[in-house]
Amino acid sequence: MQADYVIVGAGSAGCAMAYRLGEAGHSVIVIEHGGTDAGPFIQMPGALSYPMNMPRYDWGFSSEPEPQLNNRRMAVPRGKVVGGSSSVNGMVYVRGHAKDYDHWADSGATGWGYADVLPYFQRMEHWHGKGESDWRGTQGPLHVQQARQWNPLFHAFVAAGREAGYPVTEDYNGHQQEGFGAFDMTVWQGRRWSAANAYLKPAMAKWDVTLVNGLAKRVVFEGGRAVGVEIGRRTDETIRATREVILAASSINTPKLLMLSGIGPGAHLRDHGIEVRANRPGVGQNLQDHLEVYMQYASKKPITLYRYWNLLGKAWVGAQWLFTRTGHGASNQFESCAFIRSQAGVEYPDIQFHFLPIAVRYDGKAAAEGHGFQAHVGPMRSKSRGAVTLASADPADPPRITFNYMSHDEDWQDWRRAVRLTREIFRQPAMEEFVKHEIQPGGGDTDGEIDAFVREHAESAYHPCGTARMGAADDPNAVVDPECRVIGVEGLRVADSSIFPRITNGNTNAPSILVGEKAADHVLGRTPLPRDNRGPWINPDWRTAQR
């Protein structure tokens, strides 16, 4: 088998890349180890807690024991299914802050500033929001719906933010991220609008785009040029690329594949008996993620989703969705959000909230106290860095994942502020008729008590990224150049969240799709879309005021 382009990974960026290359008239083969995304567990937004806990759809990775988090091994779900993590995620759509991309450009990712990426966000989106916004796209493949905020609790949370002195934003993905407002979700006509539904399936229907099932084992080289990918099926075979190979296998599997192919830290590769093709010490390094805790409150009123948290309730929600694509099953239930700054002197938001009208864990376990609600809260820009390294030279073995969460002193200060600011929001008059008492943390407010809560209860927000960092071609720690070409070899690119120089503000699915969209233009040798030089809203008093 061969095609002009071979893409490893049918995830967020890989699907977008396949669509744009197919649209340009090229033959494309996409290699995906996971199976079909058919079925209600993936397609029903309200069922989101199921697929990320099912081995059928998830790679099942976990971290090494995290020293600062009581040596807990953290779950690292990654989608092993058509659509990748966009088929198992929470469907929350956050572009990130404009300043995130300006930081990328300042870090050596020339051409990836906000003015450069804004037109690509607009190209990929079909936004269904309130009113019109020239910050948003309305013709793209990716349907993005603004939450309707059906429950009074969603409005109370936003009102509490206003009462606490924070702004309200009509569109955090537009001119002003900072503030409280309605979330965007990748849901359309009641279905999860994954990268597979938005990009891959239409591309396969219209153009010469083929999906091949198999485990990518290594990139095949002739001389210094990538010419294909060895995959394991019933027997090993090589799928050849007449133009380029593109790795879009996730921030966990992409660095693993690079290292198995001889691209990475030389000494580490030699330790595993792998011949060094390009000594790139940055491969697998710079691993970043967002941590979050669930601040849970018991509800005075029986108006939460807990009324459906039983066999009969779930059957009703499921049946309503199955027959009409409406009801609670048609929402991810993350319908209100906030982005705030933790203190004066912070230029743009560094804390994110997801509000949920039930007190429940990602694994589907509801709080014992019955009716309740919660805010997922966490700082956005930790200075802690981890690494993805090889456990062995066997492609079937998962890599070692070490986040080094909370290994920087500032992390603890950030977390104390985040917890205290959250408690203040839930003490506002707008929440008074709903808050019965705090379930979790539920303890005191000293530094030691907050630190102990974070150590025991902080969870990954499932936003790993940064393990094949983009930077200047002469940067020894960069893995890809600003056109996503792997430095030190030819014919090989990376296009997924691995290339983020620094994690973006908020959920990382939208920036991952962006990478696929923009990298496709680099692969095709096109002039990038014209820059849009409008700047974001920044609080004029940010130097002296926290809100």
103 a catalytic residue: no
Known binding positions for FAD: 81, 89-92
Exposed, middle or buried: residue 180 (CB in 10 Å: 0-12, 13-18, 19+)?
buried
CA–CA gap between residue 188 and residue 193 (Å, rounded):
6
- The CA distance from 175 to 343, in Å, is 21
DSSP 465: B
CA–CA distance, 146 with 391 (Å, rounded to integer): 42
Separation between Cα atoms, residue 51 and residue 451, nearest integer Å: 31
**Contacts of range 256-259, beta carbons closer than 8 Å, 24 or more positions apart:** 256/284, 256/388, 256/390, 256/399, 257/8, 257/216, 257/218, 257/219, 258/219, 258/283, 258/284, 258/468, 258/479, 258/486, 258/494, 259/283, 259/284, 259/389, 259/390
Q: What CA–CA distance (Å, rounded) separates 501 from 38?
A: 34
Query: How big is the chain, counted in residues?
Result: 547
> How many Å apart are CA 402 and CA 398, to the nearest integer?
13
Binding residues: 81, 89-92
Biggest distance spanned by C-alpha atoms of the chain: 70
Sign of CA dihedral 35, 36, 37, 39: negative
Amino acid occupying residue 519 = A
Amino acid at 140: G
* Token pair 């970043």: residue: 288
Give every CB contact of residue 304 below 8 A, 6+ residues apart in sequence. 151, 153, 357, 358, 359, 371, 372, 373
- Residues 528 and 176: their CA atoms lie apart, in Å, by 25
Task: Report the DSSP pairing between strands 435-440 and 291-299.
Answer: antiparallel
- Contact predicate 58/52, CB 8 Å: yes
Q: Given 97, 103, 290, 463, which residue is catalytic?
A: 463
Q: How far apart are CA 121 and CA 346, in angstroms?
A: 26
Q: Which residues are catalytic?
A: 463
